[in-house]
Structure 1
Amino acid sequence: MFIDSNKYEAAVRELLSGKGKKYLAVAFWGKGAEALLSEYFNHEVKIICNLTSGGTNPEVIKHIRKNIPNIHDVRQLDNLHAKVLIGEDSAIIGSANLSSNGLCLEGSELQGWEEAGYRVSDPEQLKKISEWYSRMWNASSSISNEDIEASRQKWKQRRGLRPTNTTQTGRSFSLTSFSPKEMEDREIYIVIYREDISDEARLAYQNYERNLTKKSTLQKSNIPPIYEDWPQLPKSAQLIDIFYGKRGGISCHGVYTRIHEMKFKHKDGSKGHLCICRKDLQIMGLSFNTTEMASFAKALKPHIETIWGSPYAIGDTGKYISYANALRIVTNNPLQVR
């Protein structure tokens, strides 16, 4: 029997609620899967997942292993991409993962994605499916706490690169191009500072560039953003650079990514630290040039004081905040730590 998107969840629930043991080989798992399985705690369940590729939320697997008593065993298979659920008298073979997929979508983010599957009840076909599952089970391995920990970073990276369902009619990025939910878990931050770098920091960078390129940097405009004594700034993330003046004015200098760090000495002999950045031309695939920078600063200005004082803005002399949490302030949505 063919199953379309409108009937997929109901078909899965029906299979899980049926009598007998359940055998699941579903590659990728996300939020909501643990709640779904816990509803059917009277039936023994075995699970094979793909934990190492970054498409599975490790917190969900951790919860399933620890808190759902009917889960007989959860194992991992690195090259698993199948989505097969086997009950006593039927099986479902389809495209849908359990609440998440290889694109790292979760919850409401799955809306608009079409899924399809097929329910099999023919005994001969069920036998072949069960034999296939046995082979996958024998090829799989147990999951340790170390495996869960190792998968967290991969999940975070894949989650940050997930696609969005938002259709962009323009070609440029603005403060509210995306919703807080769409920006959640993405490695994009707003960096706000009120003081320029010191002369020692500027000189240290000029010496660094001179040694690197064999050319002298004389003009301030030629020096990219250098964040001084701010080593905790997120690495491998895009940083939207905002200068917040003493009189309340703000300006946006672009979006940057850390590429290097170096140490130098202040005049008093104390050690200094520089985060050296490259300039990016896009955010989320959308243009972010001089015009967009000015518009971004203008739209951000009414909210800058609230963002600066937010408990989710990290730092003392300067602040950085995840873009998702900044958007929650701008759109009056509840904040959460990311």
Structure 2
Amino acid sequence: MDVDADVDAVADELYGLVPGRFTQARDERAAGARKAGQAQAARAIAGLRRPTRAAFASNLLVRRRPTEVAAFLELGEALRRAHRSLDGTQLKDLSHRRHVVVAALARTARQLAEEEGQAVGDSAAHEVEQTLHAALADPDAAAQWSSGRLTTALTPPVGFAELSATAPERPRPAVARAGAAAKPKPSREAEQRRARYEQARRKAAETGVEATAREAELRGAEQEQREHDQALGEADARVAELERQLREARTGQDEARRALAEATDRVRAAARAAGAARRKADAAADRLAELPGAQEQ
């Protein structure tokens, strides 16, 4: 029995759940491991920490957007290489792309979390951005982030969030020790080929990251379009229903007016008939009173 594999499988499952379901599910899995006699696995599972809202959003991004994650990790490697080589021009270009991609992925993470019913406030959204900056700056942080099992937000190293647009002067190479064998200097043509290859490789990575950012923005815009289209459809349906009810109400109003007019006519006719009948009755009573013998009755 591979205890680590069992714990990994449970951790993958748990960190894919919304935070509100995490604790109960974790305790159930730990209890199941203890019942199965896996005391070591039970202790490891019970020790798993519930993720914060920002960590959940970051984990969800890793799990739902693997293509963007791969391109983002490549951007981090390119940034760290440029930082080590003190390549000011490349740092300036990559730094701009970093801000674009981080903003796009942070928006995507926030949207994914909200689709799961987990509102991400401004503070948590800032923590998601800080986590992304940390993943770009440090390979260990990148490994933690890309595992999809964060419990809390990561913090980038001081100064990384404001990479310099220009690099300091390169240190001069040390003088070779006396007697040390000198390495053959590459030909100018070989250096140019290598420079062209490296430039093309960096450009391919950068354009891939840029395309990923734009695709993330496109998905966000498409989602927003779908939501507005759905809202419009619901509004149209509501308007149609209200118009139908209005037509029925107007029809009922017209019928009520006709019925009222007919009833008014009947009342008037009945009133005339009643008046005529009353007059006839009064006349008949008067004639009866005038007849001989009426006084004797």
TM-score computed with the length of structure 2 as normaliser: 0.23
Higher helix share: 2
Structure having greater relative contact order (Cα 8 Å, sep ≥ 6):
2
What is the TM-score with the length of structure 1 in the denominator? 0.21
Report which of the two structures shows the higher radius of gyration computed on alpha carbons. 2
